[in-house]
Structure 1
Amino acid sequence: MNRLLKKALAATALFALGAGMAHAKETVVWWDFLSGGDGVRMKALIQKFNEDHPDIQIDATTLEWGVPFYTKVQTSAAVGEGPDVMTYHLSRLPLGVSTNTLREITPEELASAGLKPEDYAPANFQAAQVDGKLYAVPFDIHSLVLYYNKDRLAEAGLIGADGKPAGLDTLEGFDAALKKLTDGPSDYGLSFQTAGDGGVWRVFYSLLGQQDGAFLGEGGVLPGDENLDKAKKALSAIANWSAQGWLPKATEYPASVALFTSGKAPLFLNGVWEVPTMVDLAAKNQLGFEWGAIQMPALLGHKATWADSHAFAIPNNVGKEISPEKLKAVLTVIAWMNQNSLAWASAGHIPAYVPVTQTGEFKAMEPNATYAPLAETAVFDPQSVIAGVASPVYEATGNYFVPAVNGEMDPAEAVESFRDDLNGQLP
């Protein structure tokens, strides 16, 4: 009897183990750097995913944005302790690949998730690659846009029949508009962050891109006289705005936003991430004017606008190869987030997944639908280990371009010093 009882108990244990395995959840450890409105929206998406997928559970942690996040990712992956998936800026991919922090996502793996290159704008998908290999899947395009106070522009005769700003599509026309707006009841014609590297870099890089200027080449940073001259032209245009009193000097980020929302500056250059601020203030009747946002005008040639992308990447956890089951779960997460990114667009972003931008729901979403065409003319940060968010490029912008914009340094001298500094940091 004892022998039969032992066999029965063993069989029961095996059955229970098998049943448990059949219903086991695959836990996906997730790291992101998303705070504020982005963080709220991402948490809602994660919750929805977990509700829809009883077999996969996202275990999410939010870490500090910028250098702290990327440093932690690099050190954790090096000892096999990184997450299973993480948010990542495409502009940081070259540095991540150079430090062996990122795992390649093969074409076969991408296809297994039901995703394909044609699902993304060409420039966006290209920015997700390093040396022809895919290291991240884009989730959005977040770019510089021009916010405008429609009431103030209408008073100045700068609104067209379509209700959008008119007469801004040349540097001369834009300058004339800034002068007219500043000479009117506004304190300034334009606002953006002039005390920090981010605001100045995004405007400068957009104007360089509008001239088809090459930031990097065989000759290093701003190679050759032609590209150097284009950079000087771009920075000189910005410095002139502040020198004329049309753009406030030494303005920190929060103050630059407040100048627009208070009506003191009718034009505002900033990222799409401030759309929720405008939406919320308007809903509370705290804005005091009708607002909109459009693609940055073509001031120095053709339309081109600085852009970056939040994306999903898989760390190369050294000594801890991701299992096929875990990889399948991670790819399921990435694909689902892309396919459900309409909710993410409410933060002002343009979904990277083109099928979402083609839906009626997105086309009715304003102002996103108005500036969405910028995805076709976006200029992503230079692909280099010295470029990207919180990089030497941003630091050099703060050291040279910011003083030039604020009248403390000659723009031509600033561009040359910027070039020489960064050339000394190239590998």
Structure 2
Amino acid sequence: MTPPLDMSRRQFLTAASVTAAAALLAGCAPGTVPGSNTTTLQFWHLLSGGDGVTMSQLLDTANSAQSAYRIRPTVLAWGTPYYTKLAMAGAGGRAPDVAIMHATRTVGWAPGGLLDRWDTDRLAELGIDSSTFPKPIWEKGFVGKDMYSIALDAHPFVAMFNTDICDAAGVLDSDGRLAETSSPEEFLDQLRTIGGKAEGHALSYGYLGDGAQMWRLFYTFYSQHGGAMELPEGGKAVIDKDAAVESLTLMRTLLDGEIALAQADYGSAVAEFATGKSGMLFTGVWELRTMQNAKIPFDATMIPTLYGTPAVYADSHSFVLPHQTNADEKKRDLTYRFVADMLKGSFGWAEAGHIPAFLPVTESPEYADLVPQANYAEAAQHVVYDPTAWFTGSGSNFQSEFGAAVQGVLLSGDDPAAAIDRFEARVNTLLRQPNPADPEGTFAS
């Protein structure tokens, strides 16, 4: 995460110097396993729960498959604690050899020198290039002309559906897939039909106090209108207000108390679907294990394209090179090899629900047999990320600001147009503020 929005440049640099000292001590640890030619690589990530277990398994596989390197992982708390510590380590130039970041966060870091660039030629030598990634995912790794992140996956917002309930409602096609709908009216009719066969609601969707949840669904619908939200540094937000209001209005319509519970938090929505009481759930692919463990009959698909353009909100867990003042070239070479090994061995990451970014994995016969993952794999071709700005991205204050501006629309029927105006005003305030990681504005120039 970029430093908190209320952190001044002086505070940021002071914190950086303190953390850099700690990082310097950590950096003095031996880089080679005693008695061998194996080099230890420090790897930071923020994955916990089921994702953390899966990542540990992937790392064990990578470590045991060769003897050139050994990964030593450090797991830190998701969100602000992780990004703040990683930013401080990068500012000190003695960061870990490699780390996981959300792809949406790199634009706030790269211009301030907190990340080192990836050499695309070196990656190509290892079989990693634009031909092995979906176009939107590969392109998201770049800030300007330089690559700063390499996606391990895409984790989109999807629709999970209870196959028994939907079959009873007659909304499945001959292949057992959810029948296609192409307009808000068709989708609402489908949901009402599903609701007639569900013990609870047709749709489970939790949003209370959760700006990220509100933003994920809103930006999916907004992007399906065919345009992107633009946040030019030092300028004013470019928002299609008609599309924004229409998207927010549809969200409110879904929360009518019959299609979906009018007031629900994320945990309640997941629980309703996991106990077989609802017909559909809007959630991230990270809940796949939850539903498998619940042993309910379910499948998953992209959220229907209701406004003409296939689009689904997503982010990517991506590999980055936190800045090191004097990078060890041997360790850097091995870091490239490690990342290539992880991408090529990411089938296990697919089993956890995420869509591997490396196309040879998702285009393999083994992946085609992976259900329901293969049924939403196409989402990788249609992912939309947060609008590009230093203050956006997963776990950012931007998503919280959105939630604060629009929750009243969903909760108590406030005016959608006024809510979008509030959001736009707050974003314009943020756009006038300099990136704390780049106070001199080098990126803008």
**After TM superposition, is the score higher than 0.5?**
yes
Q: 1:66-123, CA deviations, whole angstroms, 9 ceiling, x for partnerless residues?
A: 1111110111111123111001100111112133211111222322433112111110
What is residue 6 of structure 2 aligned with on the other side? none
Change over 3 Å in CA distance of 1:250–1:102 after alignment to 2: farther
Q: Is the Cα contact below 8 Å between 1:177 and 1:189 reproduced in 2?
A: no
Match of 1:39 among 47, 52, 60: 52
Q: Distance in 2 between matches of 1:150 and 1:169?
A: 20
Q: 1:124-155, CA deviations, whole angstroms, 9 ceiling, x for partnerless residues?
A: 01111111210011100110111011111122
1:364 aligns with 2:369: yes
Match of 1:354 among 353, 359, 364: 359
The aligned amino acid for 1:304 is A
Give 1:16-415 correspondences, 5 Å limit. 23-195=36-208, 196-216=210-230, 220-223=236-239, 227-243=240-256, 245-282=258-295, 287=296, 290-317=297-324, 320-415=325-420
Q: Is the Cα contact below 8 Å between 2:132 and 2:359 reproduced in 1?
A: yes
Other structure's SS at 2:44 match: strand
Q: Distance in 2 between matches of 1:43 and 1:398?
A: 33
Report how far residue 221 of structure 1 moved. Answer: 2.2
Q: Distance in 1 between matches of 2:204 and 2:212?
A: 14
The aligned amino acid for 2:356 is P
Q: Is the Cα contact below 8 Å between 2:39 and 2:68 reproduced in 1?
A: yes
Report how far residue 183 of structure 1 moved. Answer: 4.4
Q: Distance in 2 between matches of 1:251 and 1:274?
A: 17
Report how far residue 22 of structure 1 moved. Answer: 9.9
Q: Is the Cα contact below 8 Å between 2:198 and 2:279 reproduced in 1?
A: no
Q: Is the Cα contact below 8 Å between 1:296 and 1:303 reproduced in 2?
A: no
Q: Is the Cα contact below 8 Å between 1:236 and 1:412 reproduced in 2?
A: no
Q: Is the Cα contact below 8 Å between 2:180 and 2:304 reproduced in 1?
A: no
Q: Distance in 2 between matches of 1:22 and 1:331?
A: 24
Deviates further, 110-119 or 262-271: 110-119
Q: Is the Cα contact below 8 Å between 1:98 and 1:385 reproduced in 2?
A: no
Ranges in structure 2 where 5+ consecutive residues have no aligned partner: 1-32, 434-445
Q: Is the Cα contact below 8 Å between 2:47 and 2:78 reproduced in 1?
A: yes
Q: Distance in 1 between matches of 2:62 and 2:379?
A: 30
Change over 3 Å in CA distance of 1:339–1:184 after alignment to 2: closer
Q: Distance in 2 between matches of 1:141 and 1:347?
A: 12
The aligned amino acid for 2:70 is Q
Q: Distance in 1 between matches of 2:270 and 2:34?
A: 53
Q: Distance in 1 between matches of 2:310 and 2:41?
A: 40
Report how far residue 356 of structure 1 moved. Answer: 0.8
RMSD: 1.8
Q: Distance in 1 between matches of 2:374 and 2:198?
A: 31
Report how far residue 258 of structure 1 moved. Answer: 0.7
Report how far residue 169 of structure 1 moved. Answer: 2.9
Change over 3 Å in CA distance of 1:170–1:330 after alignment to 2: same
The aligned amino acid for 2:86 is V
Other structure's SS at 1:269 match: strand
TM superposition score normalised by structure 1: 0.89
Report how far residue 348 of structure 1 moved. Answer: 0.5
Q: Distance in 1 between matches of 2:311 and 2:196?
A: 29
Q: Is the Cα contact below 8 Å between 2:41 and 2:72 reproduced in 1?
A: yes
Q: Distance in 2 between matches of 1:171 and 1:65?
A: 35
Deviates further, 120-129 or 104-113: 104-113
TM superposition score normalised by structure 2: 0.85
Q: 1:37-85, CA deviations, whole angstroms, 9 ceiling, x for partnerless residues?
A: 1100110111111112222111111000111111101111111231110
The aligned amino acid for 1:155 is A
Other structure's SS at 2:101 match: strand
Q: Is the Cα contact below 8 Å between 1:190 and 1:267 reproduced in 2?
A: yes
Other structure's SS at 1:424 match: helix
Q: Identity over the aligned pairs, expressed in percent?
A: 29
Ranges in structure 1 where 5+ consecutive residues have no aligned partner: 1-19
Other structure's SS at 1:311 match: strand
Q: Distance in 1 between matches of 2:427 and 2:231?
A: 13
Change over 3 Å in CA distance of 1:185–1:276 after alignment to 2: closer
